[in-house]
Amino acid sequence: MTHRNRICAALWCWLLALPAVAQESLPAADRSELLLIVGASGKAEYGQSFSAWADRWQRAAEQAGVLVTVIGRGEQPVDAGAVSDRDAILAAVARNASVSSREPLWIVFLGHGTFDQREARLNLRGPDLSAGELAEACRPLQRPLTAVICASCSAPFLNALSGPGRCVVTATKDGNQLQFSRFGDYLSTAIAGLEGDIDRDGQTSLLEAWLFAARRTGDFYKTEGRLATEHSLLDDNGDQQGVRAEIFSGLKPSAQVTADKPIDGRLAAEICLVLSPQERQLTAAQRQQREQLETELNQLKQKREQLNEADYLQQLEAILLQLARLYQAAEQAAATQR
- pLDDT tens readout for residues 171-188: 999 999 999 999 999 999
Q: What contacts 117, CB < 8 A, 6 or more positions away?
A: 175
Q: What contacts 334, CB < 8 A, 6 or more positions away?
A: 18, 19, 20, 21, 281
List Cα–Cα distances, 108 to 12, 177, 288, 327, in angstroms: 35, 19, 24, 32
Lowest mean pLDDT among 77-86, 178-187, 209-218: 77-86
Q: Which CATH number fits domain 25-280: 3.40.50.1460, 3.30.530.20, 3.40.50.300, 3.40.50.970?
A: 3.40.50.1460
pLDDT at 19 over 50: no
Label residue 281 by pLDDT band (50, 70, 90). confident
What mean pLDDT is reported for the chain? Answer: 87
Q: What is the DSSP letter of 251?
A: T
pLDDT of the residue at 286: 84
Share above pLDDT 90 across residues of the chain, in percent, rounded to a whole number? 65
Higher pLDDT, 183 or 333: 183
Report the half-sphere exposure of 262 (CA within 13 A, side-chain side): 11
List Cα–Cα distances, 165 to 87, 188, 208, 237, 267, in angstroms: 26, 23, 18, 8, 8
| Closest residue by Cα to residue 97 from 127, 138, 129, 136 | 138
Higher pLDDT, 47 or 81: 47
Report the half-sphere exposure of 225 (CA within 13 A, side-chain side): 0
Q: Determine phi and psi for 49, rounding to 5 degrees.
A: -65, -50
pTM over 0.85? The answer is no
pLDDT of the residue at 77: 53
pLDDT of the residue at 9: 44
Query: Is the four-CA dihedral 309, 312, 317, 318 of positive or negative sign?
Result: positive
85-109 average pLDDT score: 94
pLDDT at 141 over 90: yes
120-128 average pLDDT score: 97
77-84 average pLDDT score: 64
Q: What is the DSSP letter of 171?
A: S
pLDDT of the residue at 80: 53
